[in-house]
């Protein structure tokens, strides 16, 4: 499940502005601009100064996943907005080398998380990321929806554990929001079955959590904005979709997807 902001100009400059040396902020900005080689370079430079942090390899896996999404055209809004696409079982063809790099980065992050203090919020968030990224890969590229559901539940549980200790770690709300919103789109009998299995399927709760990340998040703030645009398109709220896509296209001008999707709803 797929798991990709109401921050005004000053806040955006503080979070996503250029820094004196490569940072994770630089890496995520490059990702959202579809500049994946630059993203990897920034992550690897950051890892040299933070070799014990699982956020580094988790972010590296995110860059691999976003690159595959771009290559395979996964992030077109029609993919999410049209049920015929969203429920498609047509398995995509992943790049073997990138898949290997993605899995190695996830495993490295998991090992570093296991060695980190249990109370470390960044390590806990890295765990949320690894589950969420793997869920996205399984569902959106390999179409292994049942396996992806298990990873989605793990991501949500890890996020709730982190948020119980740090309710201000706003990126983690995305994992809770994604599970609730995406599973709420299933037919009623399927939602009942999912709830019996421990999944959460409340649409409004899902959107509320996505908005928290979109308003106050950090690394995942733009991705939350993209998901809110997708939700607006599904609800035929073209004004809300224009607002989200307009912000994204302004903040990330190198991303052709945001411009193309904005043009479709003007």
Residue that wins the pLDDT comparison between 111 and 181: 111
Residue 249 has pLDDT above 90, yes or no: yes
Listing DSSP states for 91-112 in one string gives: -----HHHHHHHHHHHHHHHHH
Domain spans of the chain, in order of start: 9-265
- Predicted confidence band of residue 90 (pLDDT cuts 50, 70, 90): low
d(CA 56, CA 171): 16
Residue that wins the pLDDT comparison between 116 and 232: 116
- Predicted confidence band of residue 246 (pLDDT cuts 50, 70, 90): very high
Give the per-residue pLDDT at 208.
Answer: 86
Give the per-residue pLDDT at 91.
Answer: 67
pLDDT digits (tens, 9 = 90+) for 101-145: 999 999 999 999 999 998 899 999 999 999 989 988 887 788 787
pLDDT digits (tens, 9 = 90+) for 32-86: 999 999 999 999 999 999 999 999 999 999 999 999 989 988 877 445 555 545 4
Residue 178 has pLDDT above 80, yes or no: no
Give the per-residue pLDDT at 235.
Answer: 82
Residues 54, 115 contacting (CB under 8 angstroms): no
Identify the CATH homologous superfamily for domain 9-265: Tetratricopeptide repeat domain (1.25.40.10)
Ramachandran bin of 86, using left for φ above 0, alpha for ψ from -120 to 50, beta for the remaining angles: alpha
Percentage of the chain modeled with pLDDT above 90: 48
Give the per-residue pLDDT at 73.
Answer: 85
Q: How far apart are the first and last CA of the chain?
A: 28
H helix runs in the chain, sequence order: 9-16, 24-32, 36-49, 55-72, 77-81, 83-86, 96-115, 121-136, 145-165, 173-184, 188-196, 203-216, 221-234, 238-251, 256-265
> Shortest CA distance to 175 belongs to which of 197, 190, 185, 160?
160
Give the per-residue pLDDT at 196.
Answer: 38
pLDDT digits (tens, 9 = 90+) for 182-202: 544 443 333 333 333 444 445
- Predicted confidence band of residue 87 (pLDDT cuts 50, 70, 90): very low
The model carries a pTM of 0.82
Residue 253 has pLDDT above 90, yes or no: yes
Distance from chain centroid for Cα 126: 12
Residues 228, 196 contacting (CB under 8 angstroms): no
Give the per-residue pLDDT at 254.
Answer: 95
């Amino acid at each position: 499940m797929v798991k990709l902001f109401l921050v005004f100009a000053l806040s955006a400059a503080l979070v996503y502005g250029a820094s004196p040396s490569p940072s994770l902020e630089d890496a995520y900005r490059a990702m959202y601009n579809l500049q994946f080689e630059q993203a990897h370079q920034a992550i690897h430079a950051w890892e040299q100064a933070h070799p014990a942090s699982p956020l580094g390899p988790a972010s590296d896996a995110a860059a691999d996943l976003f690159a595959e999404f771009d290559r395979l055209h996964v992030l077109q809004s029609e993919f999410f907005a049209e049920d015929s696409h969203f429920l498609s079982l047509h398995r995509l063809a992943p790049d073997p080398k990138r898949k290997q790099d993605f899995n190695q980065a996830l495993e490295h992050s998991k090992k570093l998380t296991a060695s980190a203090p249990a109370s470390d919020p960044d390590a806990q968030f890295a765990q949320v990321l690894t589950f969420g990224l793997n869920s996205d890969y399984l569902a959106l590229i390999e179409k292994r929806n049942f396996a992806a559901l298990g990873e989605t539940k793990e991501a949500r549980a890890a996020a709730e554990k982190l948020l119980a200790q740090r309710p201000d770690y706003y990126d983690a709300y995305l994992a809770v929001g994604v599970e609730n919103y995406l599973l709420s789109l299933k037919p009623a009998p399927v939602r009942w079955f999912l709830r019996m299995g421990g999944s959460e399927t409340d649409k409004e709760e899902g959107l509320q959590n996505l908005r928290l990340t979109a308003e106050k998040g950090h690394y995942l703030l733009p991705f939350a904005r993209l998901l809110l645009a997708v939700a607006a398109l599904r609800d035929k709220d073209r004004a809300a979709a224009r607002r989200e896509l307009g912000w994204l296209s302004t903040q990330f001008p190198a991303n052709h997807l945001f411009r193309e999707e904005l043009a479709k709803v003007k």
